[in-house]
């Protein structure tokens, strides 16, 4: 901005506590304590919902009623390499890769980091597996990244 | 059903920053321009619908701070759409159709320069499952671009053609931020931002405001001899999680367009629409949106740009204004599309005018990767 005009530089730092609910709590607890990745099955259409939710977004009628343990493997449907720096939101230093990862045994998947890989070698369709973080805190970064297999 | 007309339009120049104006002062400029255009005064306005975002404005309930510039203080009804200005236009249309008000001012503003778009758009994503990996509007769009390229064989050259066309068109638009004379190689060789999106595939961060005045059928005829009729409107939304969608498809836009076309009696959009203003936040999106708007079949957006039909001298010019890739005022850019489409119908788009426009389409999006879409069909005849 031009120097001849006054601007006020400040921050709106607002704390939040996002609730995971019954379903999310189970998902993150299993991730943290047992390195298990769980999804939810819809009793109506049998769809396996990932990220897990209490309701099926397709049927919209009944509660999901079954946990399904995943292998942690899947394939890259799409990916990008983030080359710009925004430390406030980025968990690792760019450049780093994130992908839409379709998880085996589900009708969804996760958007997550693709790591332990030569960034130039990542391809659509590549098979990947979840690598768990050593220190797990019950959040999505308990999966450190997905690594090509 | 009775119809609603656009009887006045106004917009500010869209710029990287406007340090000489607060956002309310900037909005006043657009509102005043629309009132002048309609030869109306604040007292003539029945009610106001605004569009803005708390996060971009950096304050809670952002519309509370614009009442003195929309003429509503002490006396008028105002409510806000916390989304794109096309949705505010449809909401304004509904209020006018209610017959409780015979005019509605639709006003949108955004000062992208005052916040941090990367942090703000990161907060669109789910805090528990997505935010922590650092996704934002650009990297989210990059995931969609690659999926679209993979599924349909869209090339980086075809994407670059959109950037060349629209930045070139922006040279005819005094309100656009980035008029540029680019070559395809300039786009292809520009700095990689988030693969496969390069600098000139991406829209800029912008400041600007826009305003539109809507009037009921009877009132419109009193106000102007040149009303622009809203012939149809539709909107639709897709799933939230990226992994629940096929990112190469724009199903919600197809649904929104279908709703708007049914209302407008349009059965062959590729022939019956003369010009379109679409929300191309990124180059590839114009290709996808032309598919969703039914100008070509799914997956043929690349062929459509190759055909030259969407160029200024083609039979279906897309984004004569330069589009969102040439100026991206979030929550406002869709209303700018409405303003531009209305000017096209009136034959008053100056150097960017497409000849003989009877029917124009304005398109807005909301959410990442075009999750939500709104389509408005404007026409010279009802």
CB pairs under 8 A between A and B: 118
Domain with B10 in it = 4-116+205-223
What residue in B sits closest to A80 (Cα-Cα)?
A: B195
The more confidently predicted of residues B188 and A58 is B188
pLDDT at A2: 52
Residues in chain A closer than 8 A to B131 (CB atoms): 89
Q: A109 — phi, psi (to 5°)?
A: 165, -155
Return the exposure string of B188-219: e unless at least 16 CB atoms fall within 10 Å of the residue's CB, then b: eebebbbbbbbebbbbbbbbbbbbbbbbbbeb
Domain with A100 in it = 21-148
Structural domain includes residue A16: no
For residue B27, the domain's CATH number is 3.40.47.10
Q: How far apart are the CA of A110 and the nearest CA of chain B, in angstroms? A: 6
Could you tell me which residues of chain B have a Cβ less than 8 Å from any Cβ in chain A? 17, 19-20, 58, 113, 116, 118-119, 122, 126-136, 138-139, 142-144, 146-147, 150, 192-197, 239, 241-244, 247
Structural domain includes residue A131: yes
Structural domain includes residue A78: yes
pLDDT at A115 exceeding the cut of 50: yes
pLDDT at B72: 77
Structural domain includes residue B37: yes
Number of domains in chain B: 1
8 Å CB contact of B243 and A18: no
Structural domain includes residue B240: no
Number of domains in chain A: 1
Residues in chain B closer than 8 A to A86 (CB atoms): 116, 118-119, 122, 134, 136
Structural domain includes residue B18: yes
Residues in chain A closer than 8 A to B127 (CB atoms): 16, 18
Structural domain includes residue B213: yes
Structural domain includes residue A69: yes
What residue in B sits closest to A89 (Cα-Cα)?
A: B134
What residue in B sits closest to A5 (Cα-Cα)?
A: B19
Structural domain includes residue B26: yes
CB within 8 Å of A15: residues ≥ 6 apart: none
pLDDT at B74: 66
Structural domain includes residue B106: yes
Structural domain includes residue B23: yes
Per-residue model confidence as pLDDT tens for chain B (382 residues): 899 999 999 999 999 999 999 999 999 999 999 999 999 998 899 999 999 999 999 999 999 888 888 887 767 888 999 999 999 999 999 999 999 999 999 999 999 999 999 999 999 999 999 999 999 999 999 999 999 999 999 999 999 999 999 999 999 999 999 999 999 999 999 999 999 999 999 999 999 999 999 999 999 999 999 999 999 999 999 999 999 999 999 999 999 999 999 999 999 999 999 999 999 999 999 999 999 999 999 999 999 999 999 999 999 999 999 999 999 999 999 999 999 999 999 999 999 999 999 999 999 999 999 999 999 999 999 8
Structural domain includes residue A14: no
């Amino acid at each position: 901005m031009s120097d001849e005009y006054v601007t006020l530089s400040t921050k709106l730092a607002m704390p939040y506590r996002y609730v995971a609910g019954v379903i999310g709590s189970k998902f993150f607890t299993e991730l943290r304590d047992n390195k298990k990745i769980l999804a939810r099955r819809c009793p109506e259409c049998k769809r396996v919902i990932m990220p897990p939710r209490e309701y099926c977004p397709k049927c919209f009628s009944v509660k999901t009623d079954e946990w399904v343990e995943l292998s942690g493997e899947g394939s890259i449907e799409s990916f990008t390499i983030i080359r710009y720096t925004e430390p406030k939101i980025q968990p690792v230093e760019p450049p780093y890769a994130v992908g839409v990862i379709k998880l085996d045994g589900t009708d969804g998947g996760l958007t997550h980091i693709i790591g332990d890989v030569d960034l130039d070698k990542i391809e659509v369709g590549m098979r990947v597996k979840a690598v768990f973080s050593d220190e797990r805190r019950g959040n999505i970064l308990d999966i450190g990244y997905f690594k090509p297999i | 059903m009775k119809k609603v007309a656009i009887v006045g339009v106004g917009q500010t120049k869209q710029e990287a920053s406007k340090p000489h104006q607060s956002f309310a002062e900037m909005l006043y400029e657009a509102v005043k321009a629309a009132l002048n255009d309609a030869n109306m005064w604040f007292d003539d306005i029945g009610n106001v619908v605004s569009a803005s975002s708390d996060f971009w404005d950096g304050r809670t309930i952002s519309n509370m701070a614009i009442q003195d510039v929309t003429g509503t203080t002490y006396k008028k009804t105002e409510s806000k759409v916390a989304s794109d200005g096309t949705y505010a236009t449809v909401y304004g249309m509904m209020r006018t159709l209610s017959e409780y008000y015979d005019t509605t001012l639709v006003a949108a503003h955004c000062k992208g320069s005052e916040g941090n778009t990367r942090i703000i758009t990161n907060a669109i994503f789910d805090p528990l499952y997505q935010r922590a990996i650092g996704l934002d509007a650009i990297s989210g769009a990059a995931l969609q671009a690659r999926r679209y390229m993979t599924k349909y064989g869209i090339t980086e050259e075809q994407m670059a053609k959109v950037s060349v066309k629209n930045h070139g068109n922006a040279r005819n638009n005094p309100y656009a931020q980035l008029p540029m004379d680019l070559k395809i190689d300039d786009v292809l060789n520009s700095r990689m931002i988030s693969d496969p999106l390069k600098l000139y595939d991406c829209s800029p961060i912008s400041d600007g405001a826009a305003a539109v005045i809507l009037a009921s059928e009877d009132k419109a005829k009193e106000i102007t001899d040149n009303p622009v009729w809203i012939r149809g409107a539709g909107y639709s939304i897709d799933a939230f999680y990226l992994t629940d969608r096929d990112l190469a498809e724009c199903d919600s836009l197809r649904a929104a367009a279908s709703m708007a076309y049914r209302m407008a009696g349009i059965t062959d959009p590729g022939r019956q629409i003369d010009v379109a203003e679409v929300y191309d936040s990124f180059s590839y999106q114009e290709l996808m949106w032309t598919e969703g708007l039914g100008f070509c079949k799914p997956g043929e957006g690349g062929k459509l740009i190759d055909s030259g039909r969407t160029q200024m001298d083609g039979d279906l010019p897309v984004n004569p204004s330069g589009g969102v890739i040439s100026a991206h005022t979030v929550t406002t850019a869709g209303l700018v599309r409405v303003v531009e489409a209305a000017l096209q119908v009136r034959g008053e788009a100056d150097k960017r005018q497409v000849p003989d426009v009877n029917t124009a389409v304005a398109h807005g999006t909301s959410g990442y990767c075009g999750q939500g879409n709104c389509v408005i069909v404007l026409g010279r005849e009802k």
